[in-house]
Amino acid sequence: MINEKVGKILIEQVNKELYSAYLYLSMSAYFSDLGLLGFANWMRVQAQEETAHAMLIYDFLIDRGERVILTPIDAPPNRWKNPLNVMEEVLKHEIYVTSLINNIVTIAEEVKDRATMSYMNWFVDEQVEEEANAQDIISKLKLIGDDKSALYLLDKDLAARIFVQPTIKTA
């Protein structure tokens, strides 16, 4: 069995990860509307990753004997100023998710739930990558400025991203 406090916060994290997927799908739709299909693809893959993250936590909870009760997912925003603004919001959101993951680890440490601490280490490492990916695109967009040709080339690069199902090795 899992500690009640840890179980509760992990169930909340499932919702937060699904919200992240919903947010990134909304961003994907925004980019599709702009005709930036590479950016739209990047966001769609990001949404798939977030759904996979939710399912990893969901499965962990089930494996630990926790009853998972899902709650409503908030509606995400659907308008942004420009591609740079979207990516800045992505980075801001990923920093927020990092704080949530760190809080889970802290609570697991407090109650000496070593299994959760071990499992969540993958998510800690994943968040470093998530923030770095967003920051990389922000840096490129700032370099690009108003250069439509450069934006087109970045869009083509982002179209190449594919979803890879994440797995967590335990032991």
The verdict on residue 171 lying in a domain is no
The proportion of the chain whose per-residue pLDDT surpasses 90, expressed as a percent, equals 96
The verdict on residue 170 lying in a domain is no
Total structural domains within the chain: 1
The verdict on residue 166 lying in a domain is no
Query: What does pTM read for this prediction?
Result: 0.95
Distances (CA, A) of 100 to 15, 33, 50, 126, 140: 12, 31, 14, 13, 28
Strand spans (E) along 57-167 = none
* Residue in the structure block whose two tokens are 């699904």: 18
Domain at 128, CATH number = 1.20.1260.10
The verdict on residue 164 lying in a domain is no
The verdict on residue 168 lying in a domain is no
Alpha carbons 46 and 24: distance in angstroms, whole number: 6
Alpha carbons 3 and 96: distance in angstroms, whole number: 24
Confidence of residue 171 (pLDDT cuts 50, 70, 90): low
Alpha carbons 15 and 98: distance in angstroms, whole number: 15
The verdict on residue 108 lying in a domain is yes
The verdict on residue 80 lying in a domain is yes
* Residue in the structure block whose two tokens are 């179980």: 7
Q: Which domain holds residue 31?
A: 4-158
| Each residue's pLDDT tens digit, 76-130 | 999 999 999 999 999 999 999 999 999 999 999 999 999 999 999 999 999 999 9
The verdict on residue 66 lying in a domain is yes
